[in-house]
Amino acid sequence: MSQRSCLSVILAAGEGTRMKSALPKVLHQIAGLPMVAHVVKAADAAGASSDAIVIGHGAEEMRKAVAKFSPKAETFVQEERLGTAHAVLAAREAISRGYDDILVMFGDTPLIDAEALTMARLRLAEGAAVVVIGFRPPNPTGYGRLIEKDGKLTAIREEKDCSEEEKKIGFCNAGMMAVAGAHALTLLDAVGNKNAKGEYYLTDIVEIASAQNLDVVATEASFESALGINNRAELAQAEAIWQQRRRHDAMLSGVTLIAPETVFFSYDTDIGADTIVEPNVWFGPGVRIAGGAKIHAFSHIEGATIGSNCDVGPFARLRPGADLRNKAKVGNFCEVKQAVIEDGAKVNHLTYIGDARVGSGANIGAGAITCNYDGYSKFFTDIGEGAFIGSNSSLVAPVSIGKGGYIASGSVITESVPDDALAFGRARQKTIPGKGKELRERFASAAAAKKKAAGADH
C-alpha cells in the first residue's frame, strides 16, 4: 500500500441547517477537534498523501479552520449544490494529478475508522475500480441498500425504489467509497442528472462502472464508523462513542480510570501507564502526562505537561503552559497557568501560580498568589529551590525569591528576596487589652437600638 499514492476528497460543503448554528456543521467539535479534522486524520492514517476538502457554506471560516488542523490540505469551493458527484468534481484539479487511489468521504462522519478506509484501498490494489463502503445499521429503514451478485456490487438502491425482497437487505450504503484514480474522472463525468431533483449522484458511478465491465465491490465498516452527524443530539452521541473508545484504549494501555464514564479526553491526550485518574476529570487539548501520576477528582486540565509521579487535585485547574516536573504536587482548589513547577515542589491548596517558576522542593502555602498582571502586561515571578512561601502571601511580579528564601505568612512582596533571606511584607500587629469586649458591647447596644426603632415604626 505504501507504494500507491492516495488522495482523499472530503465533502464538507453542506450548510447543516439542522444543527441550528451559525458555525459550519463540520466545524462542530468531537473531543476538542472539528468533525472534519477527525475525517482528515482517518484518511491520513489510511495512507492518504494529499487531502482535498470541498467547502461551500462558511467558506472563509472553513479555510481558516483547515489551515490550523491540516495546513497541507487544499480547499475547493462547490459554488452550487448540485449533488454529491458534482461536489467531488469541485476537486477536479486535485483528482487529475494522477493518484492511484481516490478516497471519497464526508466531513460529518467523524468516527470513520482508518482500517475501513485501508480495506477499501486494498480492494483497489487487487483490481477493483470502485469500492463502496457499507455498514449494517440496527434498522436499515431509510438507507440505500447495497445490491450484490456473485461477490460484485451491482447497484445501490434507494429504499423508495427497493422491491420488498431488497428491503430485507441489511447491508446499507455508508456513502463513502474508494475509486481507482485511473477511472475516477471518466466515471464522474459520466454521471447524469436525470432524476427528480436534477442532481448528480455519486452513487450512480456503481452502475456506470458495471456497465463498462469494471469491477465494483463493497467492503464493510462498523455502524459507528459510518455514523453521520446532522444535529446536536447526534453530535452528543458521537462524542459519547468517541469517549468510550478512548477510555477503553487508555485502560488497555495501563491507565486506571476509577469511574471511566466520568472522565473526558481530548483528541490528543497523551497519558502514561500507571497513571490513576479519579472520577470527574476533564482533559482539554494539549495534555501530556507521564507514567505514575495521580489525577484526583474534579480536576480540569488543558494544555499542560505533567511529569512522572506527580499529584494533581482534587479540584485543581491546570491551564495552558502549566509544566509540572517529576513528583510535583498541585493540590485542591489550585490554579496553575504558564508556569513551571519543578521536581518535588508543592503547591498545596487555594493558590494561584501564573507566569512563574517554582523551584524544586519549594513549598507554596495556602492562599498564596503570584500577582502577574497589572491590567496591561504580564510579569514573571521566580521562586528559587527550596523556598517557603507562607500562607496568604502575594508576590507582586516582577519579583524573585532566592534559593531557600522564606516569606512570612500574610506578606505582600514587591521586592526581590535574596537566597536564604526572611522577608516580611505586612503591618506590625498591635494588641489592645479589653478592646474586644468594649467593641462587642457597643455593637450589641447599637443593634438593640436599631431593632427597637424599627418596632416603633410599625
- Statement: residue 456 has pLDDT above 80: no
In angstroms, rounded to a whole number, what is the distance separating the alpha carbons of residues 130 and 112? 19
Catalytic positions, written as ranges: 349
In angstroms, rounded to a whole number, what is the distance separating the alpha carbons of residues 381 and 416? 9
Average pLDDT on 370-384 reads 96
Instruction: Determine the angle formed by the axes of helices 35-45 and 59-69, rounding to 10 degrees.
Output: 50
- Statement: residue 458 has pLDDT above 80: no
Average pLDDT on 222-238 reads 94
In angstroms, rounded to a whole number, what is the distance separating the alpha carbons of residues 442 and 436? 10
| pLDDT band at 274; cut points 50, 70, 90 | very high
CB-CB neighbours of 214 under 10 Å: 18
CB-based contacts of 110, cutoff 8 Å, min separation 6: 30, 35, 36, 38, 39, 229, 238, 242
Predicted TM-score (pTM) of this structure: 0.89
Q: Between the CA atoms of 362, 366, 367 and 369, what dihedral angle is there, to the nearest 10 degrees?
A: 10
Q: Which segments of 107-253 does DSSP mark as H helices, in order?
A: 114-125, 181-189, 205-211, 232-252
* Structure confidence at residue 327 (pLDDT): 98
Average pLDDT on 281-295 reads 98
In angstroms, rounded to a whole number, what is the distance separating the alpha carbons of residues 365 and 348? 7
Beta strands in 110-188, from DSSP E residues, in sequence order: 130-135, 145-149, 152-157, 172-180
Buried b (16+ CB within 10 A) or exposed e, 260-293: bebbbbbbebebbeebebbebbbbbbbbebbebb
Mean pLDDT (the chain, rounded)? 95
- Statement: residue 297 has pLDDT above 80: yes
* Structure confidence at residue 232 (pLDDT): 96
pLDDT tens digits for 399-426?
A: 999 999 999 999 999 999 999 999 999 8
* Structure confidence at residue 204 (pLDDT): 93
Grid cell of 45 as nine digits = 492514517
In angstroms, rounded to a whole number, what is the distance separating the alpha carbons of residues 374 and 118? 55
Asked if 302 and 287 touch (Cβ cutoff 8 Å), the reply is yes
CA-derived radius of gyration, the chain: 31
* Structure confidence at residue 455 (pLDDT): 78
* Structure confidence at residue 2 (pLDDT): 67
Lowest mean pLDDT among 252-266, 297-311, 333-347, 428-442: 428-442
| pLDDT band at 161; cut points 50, 70, 90 | confident
* Structure confidence at residue 231 (pLDDT): 95
- Statement: residue 227 has pLDDT above 70: yes
Q: How many CA atoms lie within 13 A of 82 on its CB side?
A: 14
| pLDDT band at 1; cut points 50, 70, 90 | low
Q: How big is the CA angle at 354 (ends 353 and 360), to the nearest 5 degrees?
A: 55
In angstroms, the Cα distances linking 174 to 116, 120, 146 are: 11, 13, 10
In angstroms, rounded to a whole number, what is the distance separating the alpha carbons of residues 335 and 29? 26
Burial class (CB in 10 A: 0-12, 13-18, 19+), 93: exposed
* Structure confidence at residue 244 (pLDDT): 97
Average pLDDT on 306-330 reads 98
Lowest mean pLDDT among 18-32, 47-61, 152-166, 326-340: 152-166
* Structure confidence at residue 427 (pLDDT): 84
